[in-house]
Structure 1
Amino acid sequence: MNFNKNFIWGCATSSYQIEGAANEDGKSPSIWDTFTKQPFAIHDGTSGDVACDHYHRYKEDVQLLKNLGVNAYRFSLSWPRLISYTCEKGVIKGTVNEKGFEFYNNLIDELLKNGIEPWITLYHWDLPQALEDYGGWRNRDIMNWSYDYAAEVAKRFSDRVTHFFTINEMPMVLAGYIGWAAPGLNCTQKDHLKIIHNMLLSHGMMNRALHANAKKDIQVGCAHNGLGHFPATDSKEDYDAFVKAMNCIEGNPNAYAPMPGSGKIQMDSLIYYLDPIHFGKYPEQAFEIFKDQMPEIKEGDMEIISTPTEIQAINIYEGRPIASGSAPGVKDDGWHIVPFKPGKDITAAKWPITPKSMNYYFKFISDRYKKPVYVSENGMSNADIVSADGKCHDSQRIDFTSKYFEELSKGIESGADVRGYFHWSLLDNFEWHHGYNERFGLVHVDYETLKRTPKDSYYWYKEIIAESRNK
């Protein structure tokens, strides 16, 4: 596999999914604290109130990282653990929670003491409920709230942390406004496009705040997610079709797939989100397709959004094969998605296993945006159990990750500037609206006893990392 000695090997987690301590040490409620209490919102009726209890067990979890041999750990900050909000005479005022900052300071110090570089994500979906009460991502003022939050983070942590991601998976933040994620609202497409614009503005303001308050050189980017499409065959025609599909911003928000002629935003479109960040403008087709649904773009907005970033991160799990020619009943754009055959390999979450997503997709991103790229999430849900021998044998995850690594290596060999990989996830955890039904971790968590049991894939990944460094 084509990974050099300087390649970053890591694991990733997020605050609400592992920390627990939902009501401790001054933490205020998040939108997920609220959403999980709604009837039928979560498939198994659970919440992240305790989760993996990482808040109290972070030292144990850092030792798991150290023994694994990773040199980086991507984790997110719980915004409502750090700042609480009140409204005074129509003005939103934030108050710093020192106990929250103390927790992350301790975590950062513990990581560094064990030779692990902390990579921080500022926002991984757990918005303070108070800000949602004031409109949340629907309110343009969130760009200012984001700036203040990021500035405080930079002042406290940038003496030891050099890599920051602003927002994780903007498309999945948007999912909270189509009904099935927090805050559980159903909004119009016009609202969706406005929310995306507000997120992009907030990304730009976080970026500015981090750089303006950093105590040393830092690198900033966002972590985007999307379907990693790939050509159905090695033919030039299918490759050209793949490029056309990647440039399509239309789609069915409930299908996670392009749909030319639909007139609907493709929820996880790559270029609709990233072109404004890297090029300072929305794709021209957006104005042709969405017309008066496009958000109001005020003077200076695109300059804020396109504040220069140093890196680009991508969360990738699956994709679709793209072939030339049109599909029946669909606008002829010279490409179509090839349906999977019956019996296609899938994960426990019923996501298709598509290793080629790691090859062509990252080459496309690298060529288009000319920034170093990091795989900020990749992994699979598996039906993992602790066997009678006290071990967790997850050969499917090893097979999955090995195949994805092989294709990622091919992409790097063909010119994709991919410099690091963060496995999702270190721990089994609260998997959002699925509750605890999906296990993505390299480490099994017994949710009754909270016992951690490294899986076979943990030890396999440890070998891969060691082999890479010994080249």
Structure 2
Amino acid sequence: MANIQFPQDFVWGTATASYQIEGAYQEDGRGLSIWDTFSHTPGNVFNGDTGDVACDSYHRYEEDIALLKRLGVKAYRFSIAWPRIYPQGTGELNEKGLDYYRRVVDALLAAGIEPCVTLYHWDLPQALQDKGGWANRDAIAAFTNYAETVFKAFDGKIKQWITFNETWCVSFLSNYIGAHAPGNRDLQLAVTIAHNCMVAHGEAVKKFRALGIQGEIGTTHNLYWFEPYTTKPEDVAAARRNRAYNNEWFMEPTFKGTYPPFMVDWFRAKGAEVPIEPGDMETIAQPIDFIGVNFYSGGFGRYKKDEGLFDCEEVQVGFDKTFMDWNVYPDGLYKVLSWVKEEYGDVPIYITENGACYDDELTADNRVHDARRADYYKKHFIQCHRLIESGVPLKGYFAWSLLDNFEWAEGYRKRFGIVYTNYETLERHPKDSYYFIQQVIKDNGFEA
């Protein structure tokens, strides 16, 4: 039995996102977001579900912070809803929106929990979308203005900032695949939006530095570990394209100020060009204090002509699957973060999301016996320990998610929480995985 022990300064946390938990979508001056529009459009979200109420965390945040305190976390990652701060995206500031987050931040600090804040977790003000959204470069200035407002309001209280969550989802998933708001299916649009969001990230970092804000700033990319099924050159190339779609396309600009040439060529052959303006790449590559990595899965691929965007088909190799039909691949976490260190140096890394969706049931004892989720976490914690022991600068881990919540296009049928949400009563019930993580945090380790 190996004793897995973490460094004393390792940051244990959990994470949520504004639209997924807050509800109160028309309260206290909040404007509409693209997710309000998307979820209220029939056919976009399973069962017609919306985030109108979600977990009602807007009114129940104290209860949620009490759950965090019981869990023992050092930090809590949550996002600020842009439409609560600027209902129209720009223009008039909504002080009631800032006041809500002041209450949340103060309650966290009183509980001894550090707030880690994401500025953009997908709830773009609909008023900006009506003007072209992220495809319109005016959104960059609007975002920078919003970021400046929040930086100033919380300087000294929030020490860790994340500009964007999963730019791949904001761009490709939402505007090429069309699965998320605003639901477009246009490759050029997706490539443009990916670029503009990364420029907006860089501008926010520049603003953070210029203002002299206390603390650290970074961004979060969702990385996926995709390997070739064989050593055949065509399989290696296909798998690399598929991996670069999530990884290099976003990491290379962030750290090196360039796009991978082989991907630029591939997208060009598909009719999409990156709309780079003078100074953009320098802006994107502003030095950051850490990189956030969201990791859920990985897989194996091989060349198949006309299969998807990259002539690559995934090969099933017998992985266990979560209820999202995602491969459970803990070793992929070790591989992808080792790759980050190898490619981009000793930048501090936080796992800003990792977790699993299963078909949970509340039993008569008001518990959820989610042994598979607890096992998922345990296996990924082991990989975190391997990484640290191998010299990878992994500084913290945020479990996704604190609560079962609005799972985007899947509505409420997919549960990622370590706390069960009863969507009829809004009662919260900690699951077995919650108590497993609680013990890991208490001991700062476990017996493997």
The normalised TM-score by structure 1 is: 0.87
Runs of at least 5 residues in structure 1 that lack an aligned partner in the other structure = 87-92, 251-256, 259-265
1:10, 1:74 within 8 Å by CA — same for their partners in 2?
Answer: yes
Change (3 A) 1:358 1:113: same
Rounded to whole Å, the distance in 2 between the matches of 1:102 and 1:214 is: 23
1:362 aligns with 2:337: yes
Q: After superposition, what is the alpha-carbon deviation per residue over 1:364-410, rounded to whole angstroms, capped at 9, x for unaligned? A: 01221221111000000111111112221111111111111112222
SS at match of 2:40: coil
Change (3 A) 1:313 1:242: farther
Rounded to whole Å, the distance in 2 between the matches of 1:433 and 1:154 is: 31
1:42, 1:435 within 8 Å by CA — same for their partners in 2?
Answer: yes
Instruction: Report the counterpart of residue 90 of structure 1 in structure 2.
Output: none
Rounded to whole Å, the distance in 1 between the matches of 2:314 and 2:129 is: 40
Q: After superposition, what is the alpha-carbon deviation per residue over 1:190-213, rounded to whole angstroms, capped at 9, x for unaligned? A: 222111111111111111122223
Tell me the number of residue pairs that the alignment of Structure 1 and Structure 2 aligns.
Answer: 436
1:135 aligns with 2:132: yes
Rounded to whole Å, the distance in 1 between the matches of 2:30 and 2:262 is: 43
The alignment yields a C-alpha RMSD, in angstroms, of: 2.5
2:223, 2:336 within 8 Å by CA — same for their partners in 1?
Answer: no
Rounded to whole Å, the distance in 1 between the matches of 2:237 and 2:381 is: 26
Q: After superposition, what is the alpha-carbon deviation per residue over 1:141-167, rounded to whole angstroms, capped at 9, x for unaligned? A: 111111101100110012211111101
Rounded to whole Å, the distance in 2 between the matches of 1:320 and 1:98 is: 46
SS at match of 2:225: coil
- Within a 5 Å distance, the mapping from 1:46-445 to structure 2 comes to 46-85=49-88, 93-174=90-171, 175-178=173-176, 179-187=178-186, 189-216=187-214, 218-229=215-226, 248=240, 250=241, 257-258=242-243, 268-291=245-268, 293-321=272-300, 327=303, 339-341=315-317, 344-370=319-345, 371-445=347-421
> How far off is 1:269 after superposition?
2.3
Change (3 A) 1:143 1:468: same
Rounded to whole Å, the distance in 2 between the matches of 1:204 and 1:242 is: 35
Instruction: Report the counterpart of residue 451 of structure 1 in structure 2.
Output: 427
- Amino acid corresponding to residue 372 of structure 2 in structure 1: Q
SS at match of 2:315: coil
> How far off is 1:470 after superposition?
10
SS at match of 2:296: coil
Q: After superposition, what is the alpha-carbon deviation per residue over 1:82-104, rounded to whole angstroms, capped at 9, x for unaligned? A: 11228xxxxxx421100000000
1:32, 1:182 within 8 Å by CA — same for their partners in 2?
Answer: yes
Rounded to whole Å, the distance in 2 between the matches of 1:241 and 1:377 is: 32
Rounded to whole Å, the distance in 1 between the matches of 2:190 and 2:367 is: 45
SS at match of 1:84: coil
Runs of at least 5 residues in structure 2 that lack an aligned partner in the other structure = none
- Amino acid corresponding to residue 277 of structure 1 in structure 2: T
2:440, 2:446 within 8 Å by CA — same for their partners in 1?
Answer: no
1:373, 1:419 within 8 Å by CA — same for their partners in 2?
Answer: yes
SS at match of 1:295: coil
Rounded to whole Å, the distance in 1 between the matches of 2:446 and 2:383 is: 21
Identity within the alignment, %? 40
1:4, 1:469 within 8 Å by CA — same for their partners in 2?
Answer: no
- Amino acid corresponding to residue 22 of structure 2 in structure 1: E
Of 111-120 and 190-199, more deviation after overlay is shown by 190-199
Rounded to whole Å, the distance in 1 between the matches of 2:54 and 2:192 is: 33
1:13, 1:425 within 8 Å by CA — same for their partners in 2?
Answer: yes
- Amino acid corresponding to residue 196 of structure 1 in structure 2: A
Q: After superposition, what is the alpha-carbon deviation per residue over 1:238-296, rounded to whole angstroms, capped at 9, x for unaligned? A: 9x9999778x3x3xxxxxx45xxxxxxx6x42111111111111122234333373223
Change (3 A) 1:6 1:242: farther
Change (3 A) 1:290 1:347: closer
Rounded to whole Å, the distance in 1 between the matches of 2:359 and 2:265 is: 45
Rounded to whole Å, the distance in 2 between the matches of 1:126 and 1:194 is: 18
- Amino acid corresponding to residue 324 of structure 2 in structure 1: A
Rounded to whole Å, the distance in 1 between the matches of 2:390 and 2:313 is: 24
Change (3 A) 1:452 1:242: farther
> How far off is 1:469 after superposition?
7.2
Rounded to whole Å, the distance in 2 between the matches of 1:438 and 1:13 is: 15
Rounded to whole Å, the distance in 1 between the matches of 2:360 and 2:434 is: 13
SS at match of 1:144: helix
SS at match of 1:94: coil
1:42 aligns with 2:39: no
Rounded to whole Å, the distance in 1 between the matches of 2:88 and 2:179 is: 26
The normalised TM-score by structure 2 is: 0.91
- Amino acid corresponding to residue 192 of structure 2 in structure 1: K
Change (3 A) 1:96 1:328: closer
> How far off is 1:329 after superposition?
5.6
Rounded to whole Å, the distance in 1 between the matches of 2:332 and 2:41 is: 36
Rounded to whole Å, the distance in 2 between the matches of 1:177 and 1:465 is: 39
Q: After superposition, what is the alpha-carbon deviation per residue over 1:111-166, rounded to whole angstroms, capped at 9, x for unaligned? A: 00010000000000000000000111110111111110110011001221111110
